[in-house]
């Protein structure tokens, strides 16, 4: 059982959070016309998605906003055993 209190109702508990119901159709995603220069701030410094991937144990990252893919999944070269632990 998934618990997301105190925001579970806001996150969709009544609709089956985190899985949803099986009769719902998946929402289509479109690709943005141009990949924006995405940045985030951490430690008083502006960082890019490449910075994030270099410092996190992440094999893929997909950035979606308003149904549009802003940054496609970026795959880091990792061996299969290490991907299973990510």
Is 52 domain-assigned?
yes
Q: Is the bond preceding 6 in cis, omega lying within 30 degrees of 0?
A: yes
- DSSP, res 13: G
Is 56 domain-assigned?
yes
Cβ atoms of 30 and 67 closer than 8 Å: yes
- DSSP, res 69: E
The pLDDT value given to residue 46? 95
For the chain, the domain total comes to: 1
Is 67 domain-assigned?
yes
Is 62 domain-assigned?
yes
pLDDT tops 60 at residue 86: no
pLDDT tens readout for residues 14-60: 777 666 566 667 778 898 888 888 899 998 999 988 888 888 877 77
pTM above 0.85, yes or no: no
Is 45 domain-assigned?
yes
Is 21 domain-assigned?
no
Whole domain around residue 73: which residue ranges? 28-85
Is 3 domain-assigned?
no
Is 64 domain-assigned?
yes
């Amino acid at each position: 059982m998934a618990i997301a209190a105190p925001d579970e109702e806001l996150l969709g508990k009544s609709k089956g959070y985190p899985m949803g119901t099986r009769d719902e159709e998946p929402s289509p995603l479109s690709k943005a016309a141009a990949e924006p220069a995405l940045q985030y701030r951490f430690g008083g410094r502006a960082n890019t998605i490449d910075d994030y991937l270099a410092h996190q144990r992440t094999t893929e990252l997909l950035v979606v906003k308003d149904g549009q893919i802003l940054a496609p999944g970026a795959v880091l070269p990792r061996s299969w055993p290490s991907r299973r632990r990510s």
